């Protein structure tokens, strides 16, 4: 195991891909281990994600937070777009259902969403604990892992396998559109996700570094978390 970990750390590709994959894999277990499993699994994912970031940080040079007015504005605008488009754009599940590839139901129609109150009761301390983990995890753990994978690795790797030789600030249309689309289609809110991916990638290209996109992503997720809890809009989770 120690040898495997060392080999992953020595590979520029593996150290950017393996942590992301390890963070995503538990998603496939959510709901499969009982009604409360999504909340426990997310908690475990968050703890694992913290460990993965701690492991990656000295090995991935671009994994540094940075704050700029462009990043703050992008984070807020993406949040507004994310919640604003929701009533007008069919979810990915609805589109797949229309094509005969799914149930055709939106997340809100098929279940109450990621809502621990529905399982543990209103005002439950355990429910609030899981909500706190979700907000903190989506704010501080998800952005670094996703930005390293999508904006640092995949965006450049599509252009050239020796991706480290390509500056983060180099703009390539094909890669820009492709990675934004891949990022968007990984979310139920597919159109907002595509625009979100484009905004974050644009930040990376403009600033020539990853940190502003990490910060923008964190701001978006934090505001979305407040919106979900404050408005009961659990379908976003």
pLDDT, tens digit, for every residue of 128-182? 999 999 999 999 999 999 999 999 999 999 999 999 999 999 999 999 999 999 9
Give the pLDDT score at 112: 62
Give the pLDDT score at 92: 83
Residue 199 Cα distances to 17, 179, 192, angstroms: 22, 12, 10
Give yes or no for residue 103 having a pLDDT over 80: no
How many Å apart are CA 218 and CA 143, to the nearest integer? 6
How many Å apart are CA 210 and CA 96, to the nearest integer? 33
How many Å apart are CA 237 and CA 235, to the nearest integer? 5
Do residues 37 and 29 make contact, with C-beta atoms less than 8 angstroms apart?
yes
Cα 102 from chain centroid (whole Å): 23
pLDDT, tens digit, for every residue of 185-213? 999 999 999 999 999 999 999 999 999 99
In this prediction, residues 95-114 reach a mean pLDDT of 62
Give the pLDDT score at 31: 67
pLDDT, tens digit, for every residue of 48-63? 999 999 999 999 999 9
Burial category of 2 from C-beta neighbours within 10 Å (exposed 0-12, middle 13-18, buried 19 and up)? exposed
Q: Categorize the per-residue pLDDT at 98 as very low, low, confident or very high, splitting at 50, 70 and 90.
A: confident
Start-to-end C-alpha separation, the chain: 34
How many Å apart are CA 163 and CA 13, to the nearest integer? 9
Q: How many CB atoms lie within 10 A of CB 174?
A: 9
Locate 196 and state its tokens.
């979100």
Give the pLDDT score at 102: 60
Q: Categorize the per-residue pLDDT at 109 as very low, low, confident or very high, splitting at 50, 70 and 90.
A: very low
In this prediction, residues 99-116 reach a mean pLDDT of 62
Do residues 215 and 72 make contact, with C-beta atoms less than 8 angstroms apart?
yes
In this prediction, residues 31-42 reach a mean pLDDT of 85
In this prediction, residues 25-30 reach a mean pLDDT of 84
Give the global pTM. Answer: 0.92
Do residues 221 and 139 make contact, with C-beta atoms less than 8 angstroms apart?
yes
Average pLDDT, the chain: 92
Do residues 197 and 217 make contact, with C-beta atoms less than 8 angstroms apart?
no
Give the pLDDT score at 5: 85
Task: Specify the 3-state DSSP secondary structure of 156.
Answer: helix
Tell me the residue length of the chain.
237
How many Å apart are CA 36 and CA 49, to the nearest integer? 20
Tell me the torsion sign for CA atoms 144, 147, 150, 154: negative
């Amino acid at each position: 195991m120690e040898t495997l970990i060392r080999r992953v750390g020595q590979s520029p590709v593996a150290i950017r891909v393996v942590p992301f994959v390890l963070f995503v894999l538990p998603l496939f277990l959510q709901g499969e281990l009982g009604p409360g499993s999504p909340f426990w699994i997310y908690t475990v994912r968050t703890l694992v994600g913290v460990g993965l970031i701690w492991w990656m940080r000295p090995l991935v040079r671009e994994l540094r937070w940075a704050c700029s007015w462009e990043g703050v504005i992008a984070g807020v605008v993406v949040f507004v777009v994310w919640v604003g488009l929701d009533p007008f754009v069919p979810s990915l599940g609805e589109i797949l259902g229309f094509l005969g590839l799914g149930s055709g139901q939106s997340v809100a129609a098929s279940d109450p969403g990621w809502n621990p109150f529905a399982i543990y009761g209103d005002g439950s301390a355990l429910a609030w604990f899981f909500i706190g983990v979700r907000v903190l995890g989506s704010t501080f753990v998800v952005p670094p892992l996703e930005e390293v994978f999508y904006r640092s690795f995949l965006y450049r790797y599509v252009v050239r396998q020796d991706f480290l030789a390509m500056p983060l600030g180099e703009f390539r249309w094909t890669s820009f559109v492709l990675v934004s689309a891949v990022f968007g289609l990984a979310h139920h809110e597919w159109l907002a996700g595509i625009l979100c991916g484009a905004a974050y990638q644009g930040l990376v290209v403009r600033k020539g570094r990853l940190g502003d996109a990490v910060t923008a992503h964190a701001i978006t997720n934090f505001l979305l978390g407040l919106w979900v809890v404050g408005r009961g809009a659990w379908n976003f989770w």
